[in-house]
Amino acid sequence: MYMSEVRKPLMGALLALSLAASTATAGSEMKKNVDGAVMYPTEKGHYQAYAVNTQSKKGFSAYGRTPTAAEIKAWDKDVMPDGTGLPEGKGSVEQGDELFADQCAMCHGDFGMGGKGYPTLSGGQGTLKNQLVDAAAGDEPPVRTIGSYWPYASTLFWYIQSAMPFPHPKSLSNDETYALVAYLLSVNEIEIDGQELDDDYVLDRAKFLKIKMPNRDGFYPNVDGGVGSKEVAKFLNNPENYGKGTRCMKGCKDGKVSPIKFELKDFKPAMSTTRDLPKEEGSKTVSKGQKLYEAKCSACHANAAIGAPVVGDKEAWAKVTAKGIDVVYKHALSGFNAMPPKGGNMDLSDAIVKEIVDYMIEASK
């Protein structure tokens, strides 16, 4: 399993290591960046072949000011695995269920089972054992969800409160965030202190600190504390963590190339260099307008919380089309209210935008 929970501790470690490495001088041993890349010295305004801006920064200190401790504290909403930053509050699974249905299910699907273009939040328990996927043997790739993959519940709390729901982030109270965390843990079959999370279960700070995620020991290196940067550098500078075996282009043993140790293959849909559109399954044909709507417009027009007319809402679209199709086209092409011209997809031709509009209207009758 490859380290993926890159948050503030890791970013701080990377920055610290990068800054330290950048002080290398020509007469000393070359230092390495956190990813193993050699850090060359800056000489005569150049870093290797690249010019460096050597202009004086004098005078710029007059702009702005150093933030106060109170301002930094108000901005820093991070929640750490040891409970640092975790606020007081409480919320039940039942309350979280209602909040999820109202503000999250339109993107993440019922019970967090996934939606078009949005990550799946539940399921996948026990699938991480399939680290090296052998498609020929019928192995399925690991499914990375909250319950199967995330090592800490603190990340869940922090991310929900900082970035969700998508249309209006930072709008949830501490109690609402606790409720949503409780609900998502329940649908992932996570127990707290040996207790199942039924509808009446109330999660608070004390109980939160007892959460032990199934994959808590599956992430490395350790990114916390003062040794975090050293652990990251040690891990990333060791090629044994990325692949084993001898590379070959011909005459490979059994015609196979040695597998990468931590290869990721669970892409959905699978990665491909083929440029043809996938074949339609079954007899039902999907129009070009529908495909482009799902790819370009559904983030807003399939989400009732954003305020745009949702495709399938007959009443809403009846009001839109009452102005006449020419007006609808004009709004789509030139922008209307909060919607930018062409919904922000300026690469689309006027004809294609009209085709998408036609599909949205037809699907809402």
Integer Cα distance of 197 and 201 in angstroms = 5
Of residues 223 and 195, which shows the higher confidence score?
195
Tell me what pLDDT residue 249 has. Answer: 60
| Residue 149, C-beta contacts closer than 8 angstroms, at least 6 positions apart | 1, 4, 124, 128, 142, 215, 218
> What per-residue confidence (pLDDT) applies to 11?
44
Tell me the CA distances in angstroms from 156 to 97, 113, 121, 149, 270, one per residue in order.
16, 16, 11, 12, 27
The answer to the question of residue 152 being in a domain is yes
332 pLDDT higher than 60:
yes
The answer to whether 139 and 164 are in contact (CB under 8 A) is: no
Cα separation, 84 vs 176, in Å, equals 19
β-pair partners for 46: 43, 51
Residue 342: which CATH number?
1.10.760.10
SS (H, E, C) 287-346: CHHHHHHHHHHHHHHCCCCCCCCCCCCHHHHHHHHCCCHHHHHHHHHHCECCECHHHHCC
- Same-domain check for residues 115 and 163: yes
Q: What is the mean pLDDT of residues 85-112?
A: 92
State the DSSP code for 134.
Answer: -
Q: Which of 13-17, 210-214, 238-242 shows the lowest mean pLDDT across its residues? A: 13-17
The domain tally of the chain equals: 3
Burial annotation 315-352 (CB, 10 A radius, 16+ → b, else e): ebbeebbeeeeeebeebbbeeeeebeebbeeeebeeeb
3-class DSSP state of 51: strand
Residue-wise pLDDT for 18-44, tens only, equals 444 444 443 445 677 776 677 788 888
Considering the domain architecture, whether residues 44 and 105 belong to the same structural domain is answered as no
pLDDT higher than 50, residue 8: no
| Shared-domain flag, residues 203 and 231 | no
269 preceded by a cis bond (ω within 30 of 0): yes
* Average pLDDT in the chain: 78
pLDDT of 277 above 70: no
CA 322 – CA 316 distance, rounded (Å) = 10
What is the spatial distance between Cα 361 and Cα 342, in angstroms, rounded to a whole number?
Answer: 16
Residue-level pLDDT at 15:
45
Q: Which of 70-79, 172-181, 227-236 has the lowest mean pLDDT?
A: 227-236
Q: Is residue 17 part of a domain?
A: yes
Q: What is the amino acid identity at position 192?
A: I
Whether this model's pTM surpasses 0.75: no
Across 14-23, 233-242, 280-289, 348-357, least confident range: 14-23
**Within a domain: 323:** yes
| Tokens describing residue 241 | 């963590």
Q: pLDDT, tens digit, for every residue of 103-157? A: 888 888 889 888 766 889 998 887 776 555 454 555 666 788 999 989 899 999 9
As a whole number, mean pLDDT of residues 88-102 equals 95
Residue 306: inside a domain: yes
Residues 194 and 229 in one domain: no
Which residues, 6 or more positions from 112, have their beta carbon under 8 angstroms from its beta carbon? 100, 104, 120, 121, 122, 145, 146, 184, 187, 188
Per the domain annotation, does 63 fall within a domain?
A: no
Cβ partners under 8 Å of residue 95, min gap 6 = 175, 176, 179, 182, 183
Quick one: pLDDT at residue 137? 53
Is the pLDDT confidence value at 13 over 60? no
Full domain range(s) for residue 293: 288-362
Beta strands per DSSP E along the chain = 31-32, 38-39, 42-43, 46-47, 50-51, 90-92, 202-204
Contact (Cβ atoms closer than 8 angstroms) between residue 146 and residue 156? yes
pLDDT confidence tier of residue 246, bands split at 50, 70 and 90: low
Q: Are residues 37 and 101 in the same domain?
A: no
